[in-house]
Amino acid sequence: MALLERVSTLIRANLNDLIDKAEHPEIMIKQVILDMENQLLQVKTQVAIAIADQHLLENKQKENEEKISEWTRKAEMAVGKKQDDLARAAIERSLHYKQMSDNFRQQVADQTLQVETLKNALNKLQQKLEEARSRSDLLIAQHRRARTLDKAADAQSAVSGVNHGATFDRMKHKVMRQEAIGQAKNELLSSDAASVEDRFAQMEKEDEIDRILSEIKSKRA
């Protein structure tokens, strides 16, 4: 049966292997559990149908056995009445129902075996489903933790591969150069300002010299 083959595949499924091979393990786990639940419902339905068929076959077998007894009594009654032809007909009917009873007995045996097979598959699938449900949260947590550790390791590897000492040295030299440039600009501005003040001071000094010289000349005149 295709159903039993699918159930057998789910029962043999190893969740750890599925997680390792899956691109999205969490989705895979939820899908496996959903498949198990669907198959479990189908197997339950098949078990119920198989049991119903078994009861039907058992009833048919019982009916034929009752017919055997009935026609056997009729054959005995015909013999008692010395009606051998009627007795022979009754015996023939009895043999017919005996053959039918044997056929139904074999079908009952086959159906009983199928019911047991389905019941075993149902029990195993139910146990597997319970195991999957109980382990799913743990497996998902383990996968998330492994993924986080993997990302952390990648980040650490990337950080370790960068020469931060050289980077900081370059930044230090750049900052020092900017400071030196700024200081030089300030010195130039200060120098320009001092030069202007010195020129004005020199002009005032010359004016004072000229004034004093004029005063001396006026007194002498």
pLDDT value, residue 218: 75
Q: Do 76 and 144 fall into the same domain?
A: yes
Given this model, what pLDDT does residue 64 score? 95
Name the domain count of the chain.
Answer: 2
* C-alpha distance from residue 53 to each of 42, 102, 112, 130 (Å): 16, 17, 9, 29
Long-range contacts, 8-15 (Cβ 8 Å, 24+): 8/121, 10/35, 10/36, 10/39, 10/125, 10/128, 11/121, 11/124, 11/125, 11/128, 13/128, 15/132, 15/135, 15/136, 15/139
Per-residue confidence at 208, pLDDT binned at 50, 70, 90?
confident
Q: What is the pLDDT of residue 194?
A: 54
Q: Are 11 and 120 members of one domain?
A: yes
Report the alpha-carbon distance of residue 44 to residue 123 in Å, rounded. Answer: 10
Residue 58 has pLDDT above 90, yes or no: yes
Residues 124 and 181 in one domain: no
Closest CA to 64 of 19, 97, 18, 26: 97
For residues 158 and 172, membership in a common domain is answered with no
**What is the reported pLDDT for 35?**
84
Ranges 18-27, 84-93, 133-142: which has the least confidence? 18-27
pLDDT at residue 207 in the model: 78
pLDDT mean across residues, the chain: 78
Query: Based on the domain organization, do 51 and 99 belong to the same domain?
Result: yes
* Whether the predicted pLDDT of 67 surpasses 80: yes
pTM value?
0.54
Let me know whether 111 and 198 are in one domain: no
Q: What is the pLDDT of residue 148?
A: 76
DSSP code at position 162: S
The gap from C-alpha 26 to its chain's centroid, in whole angstroms, comes to: 2
Q: Which residue from 39, 34, 2, 18 is spatially nearest to 124, judged by alpha carbons?
A: 39
Q: Same domain for 51 and 130?
A: yes
pLDDT for residue 75: 92
pLDDT (tens digit per residue) in 76-130 = 999 988 888 889 999 999 999 999 999 999 999 999 999 999 899 889 888 888 8
What is the C-alpha separation between 221 and 189, in angstroms, rounded?
49
DSSP 180: H
* Range of weakest confidence among 61-70, 127-136, 181-190: 181-190
- Taking only the tens place, the pLDDT of each residue in 154-207 is 666 655 555 556 666 777 777 777 777 767 666 655 555 556 677 777 778 777
Give the per-residue pLDDT at 52: 95
Which pLDDT score, from 0 to 100, does residue 199 have?
Answer: 72
Distance in angstroms (rounded) separating the CA atoms of residues 214 and 221:
11
Is the domain of 191 the same as that of 103?
A: no
Average pLDDT of the segment spanning 62-86: 91
- Which residues span the domain enclosing 177? 167-221
